Amino acid sequence: MAGRRGPVGTVADAGPIVARPGERQVNGPWVRDRRGLGSPAMTSARVWLLDLDRDPDAGGPTAPEVGDEHERARAAAFADATDARRYLAAHRALRLLVSSCTGRDAASLVFDREPCRGCGGRHGRPVLRTADDLHVSLSRSGRWAAVALRTGAAVGVDVERARPAGALEHLRPDVSPEDVDVDVLRAWVRKEALLKSTGEGLTTAMSTIRLSRRPDGTRTDGRRGTVHDLESVADVVLAVAGDGLSRPVFTDASPDVLSVRP
């Protein structure tokens, strides 16, 4: 599937009391915690989908100016200049969103990586150093990026650009052999979001996970957490997951959301 590529955005305020245009309201009232990230009892999350190829805005620092040495080195290793630009734009967005929630300078934020459960290497899910209970997740696919922030519990988000129905049917035995009525790409995105939320990532075979549908439309395997599908105006498939996760506030790609300056 498309490589993991994350969020984006010169951000509007990350902690609204009510949903803005382009956002979907969650269950229950929103309150601000001390970092400014709205959270009904810490059960929900904020999710953004943004376009990494939109015209850059005129203000604010560029992606290399807010990125750290590791991010700049990763970008420099890309053979394709467009991929490198999108990578930097995605990580700039993550920093801006966290900055908006915490009040800390975007360039000062330090991200660590959890050890991979397969090999032990430091390329697992990103962890914000000294962030108290703020958890982050980042995904990107082509020109699209998604970011999720949640206080108090882990969260996982996955986005993939849409493919024609049945285009990935050859992958069904490895992804979703249990449910032939669900498109393979949809099943992939749901399961990857769930595995990212637990920190397992792709060290766990997707074919071993059985997701069942709840009356409210969410999915669960009964052990790891809850998966929410998010519907977008963009041509993508998107899901977010976490233990005890209620419906998130979703800021869709729209003209109301400022773009990322590459």
Nearest CA to 224 out of 205, 203, 207, 209 is that of 209
User: Is 171 part of a structural domain of the chain?
Assistant: yes
At 3 the pLDDT is 42
User: Is 1 part of a structural domain of the chain?
Assistant: no
Query: How many distinct structural domains can be found in the chain?
Result: 1
Residue 150 token pair: 């949640």
Mean pLDDT of 14-29: 31
* CATH number of the domain that residue 113 is part of: 3.90.470.20
Mean pLDDT of 50-71: 70
Angle at Cα 168 formed by Cα 165 and Cα 171, nearest 5°?
A: 145
User: Is 42 part of a structural domain of the chain?
Assistant: yes
Question: What type of residue is 75?
Answer: A
Nearest CA to 89 out of 63, 64, 50, 71 is that of 63
The answer to whether 21 touches 131, Cβ cutoff 8 Å, is no
Q: Is the dihedral of CA 107, 127, 211, 140 positive or negative?
A: positive
pTM (predicted TM-score): 0.81
Mean pLDDT of 88-109: 89
User: Is 220 part of a structural domain of the chain?
Assistant: yes
Give the residue numbers spanning the domain of 196: 23-245
pLDDT band at 56 (very low <50, low <70, confident <90, very high): low
Least confident of 54-58, 118-122, 136-140: 54-58
Residue range 192-237, pLDDT digits in tens: 999 999 999 888 999 999 999 999 999 999 999 999 999 999 999 9
